Each structure stands twice: as structure tokens, then as C-alpha cells.
Amino acid sequence: MKDKTYFMKKAIAAAKRAAACDEVPVGAVIVKDGEIIATACNRKERDNCAVSHAEIVAIRKACKKLGNWYLEGCEMYVTLEPCPMCAGALINSRLDKLYFGAYDPKAGCCGSLYDLVRDGRFNHTLDAEGGIMREECAALLSNYFRLKRAEKKESEKNRKGE
């Protein structure tokens, strides 16, 4: 059955592909009428561009697929709570609903630092549900950063030993 867990697992799979490319592992899918119309992961390092977050790449793919900037009837599943840029992109693209995994207390703008997507002063609002497969989504990030720290320590040790 294609439930919230089904779609979040697809977003997690996308995030793992980012990690394999040495990118901070965040993945997203966009769903319309129960079908995935776009899958993306963070591409910031590969694109050399801080705009290339998973959500932005997914929105661009979905717009291309539908031939429309108006993503009415679409839902996004993303492994991490969107930052201000991505929360704003969700508003601008008029998505119906956001499901996210881990909360981001440092930059999250869908409940943590701000709740931009539910601010009725903008010309669109959308509902957000956080905490879908929260542990798995958070573990993706903590494992990635632990590995990065270990790699850095190892490389420093090797440099000192030279």
C-alpha cells in the first residue's frame, strides 16, 4: 500500500544516493494522484550551488514534468524539515501538503524556527506534518556527519605523521 511510509522510504532512498556522492543526505519525492512524479536529492556540491537542495531540484523536475509552475494537488515527502529557501519554494509552487522526516532545530522553517508554510499572510499556505520515519531520517544525517568527522580526524592524523 502506498502510504506515508512508502513515499518517505523513497525519499530516504534518494537521500542515500546523495550520501554516496558525498553530499549531505537529504532526499525528496513529489506525489500527485498517488504516483511519484519527481524524485531528487541534495546536489549542492555536485552543482556547486547552494540553491540545489533536494526540494528545489524536485520542484523543478515536477514543474518540467507537468509543464506548469502550479503544483496544485501535489504533495512533497522530504527527509529533513525544509529551510527558509525550500519552505518558500513550497509556498511559491502552491503545493498542497508537506510531509517531512527529521526536524531541523538549526534551520527548519516548517515548525522549528518559523512556520512559514502556514503563515496566512502569504498568498498560499500548506499543511505540514513532521516526524514521518523521524529516527531513520535523522540517522541518515548523524551517520553521515559522524563519518565526515572520522575522515577528517584520520586525514589530520596522517598529515601529522608525514
Active-site annotation, residues: 55
| Stretch 2-41: interaction string toward its own copies, x if CB under 8 A | ----------------------------------------
Strands 27-32 and 35-41, by their bridges, are: antiparallel
Is residue 122 near its own copies by the rule CB under 8 A? yes
Tell me, rounded to whole angstroms, the distance of Cα 118 from its chain centroid.
18
**Smallest separation, CB 47 to its own copies (Å):** 8
69 near its own copies, judged by CB under 8 A: yes
Q: CB–CB of 18/41 below 8 Å?
A: yes
Q: Answer yes or no whether residue 102 interacts with its own copies by CB under 8 A.
A: no
Contacts of residue 28, Cβ cutoff 8 Å, sequence gap at least 6: 11, 14, 38, 39, 40, 41, 54, 55, 57, 58, 76, 77, 78, 79
Does 119 sit near its own copies (CB under 8 A)?
yes
Interface with its own copies (CB under 8 A), residue from 3, 33, 35, 123: 123
The span from the CA of 6 to the CA of 116, in Å, is 26
* Total chain residues near its own copies (CB under 8 A): 40
CA angle at residue 31 from 101 to 116, to 5 degrees?
55
Q: Does 135 bind its own copies (CB under 8 A)?
A: no
**Helix and strand tally (H, E) in the chain?**
5, 5
Residues that bind its own copies (CB under 8 A): 44-45, 47-53, 56, 59-60, 63-64, 67-71, 83-89, 91-94, 106-107, 109, 113-114, 116, 119, 121-123
